[in-house]
Structure 1
Amino acid sequence: MVQTPQQRRANERYAKNEAAKRGKPVTKSKPKQTSKAPVSTTWVVLLAFVVCGGLLLELLRVVPEIWSYVTSMLSRITG
């Protein structure tokens, strides 16, 4: 059954009075939990070294080829 506005106001007053009788609840603060990373720092550093090291070696291999291509194009344009 649906409450009438008068019943709703009466229920709100009653709930307010009961809450005042009980007082405020004691709030307990939970200690902060330090979250542990799922992967250790060592593995992250190792993975970064492998990925960045591979990228660096690949760049060292490709840059001379690109440079020779650019110089050959410039010599064709100017020559």
Structure 2
Amino acid sequence: MAQTPKQRRANEKYAKHEAAKRGKPETTLKKSQKQKSPVSIGWVVILAFVVCGGLAFELLRIVPDIWSAITSLVK
């Protein structure tokens, strides 16, 4: 049975694909796996709290002084 043109094109495409794979290590052929973050989410939360929490506490300490200065200027 002779090949149809559609089958011939499919076979040529497959042969090119297989020829390209030959000689390459398996690691390049496998799909890349999802990379895990080296830092856990818990540590990111703690770091964010330390940085942003320190900023928030500092603002809470400074705001009453700024507010009293503004109100003294308005009077």
Tell me the distance in 2 between the aligned counterparts of 1:60 and 1:25: 64
Supply the RMSD in Å over aligned alpha carbons.
2.0
Q: Would you say how many aligned residue pairs link Structure 1 and Structure 2?
A: 54
TM-score normalised by structure 1 residue count? 0.58
Structure 1 unaligned runs (5+)? 1-19
Amino acid at match of 1:32: S
For residue 36 of structure 1, what is the aligned residue in structure 2?
Answer: 36
Query: Mapping of 1:21-60 within 5 angstroms?
Result: 23-26=15-18, 29-60=29-60
Structure 2 unaligned runs (5+)? 1-11, 22-28
- Report the identity percentage: 57
Tell me the distance in 2 between the aligned counterparts of 1:59 and 1:43: 24
TM-score normalised by structure 2 residue count? 0.61
For residue 70 of structure 1, what is the aligned residue in structure 2?
Answer: 70
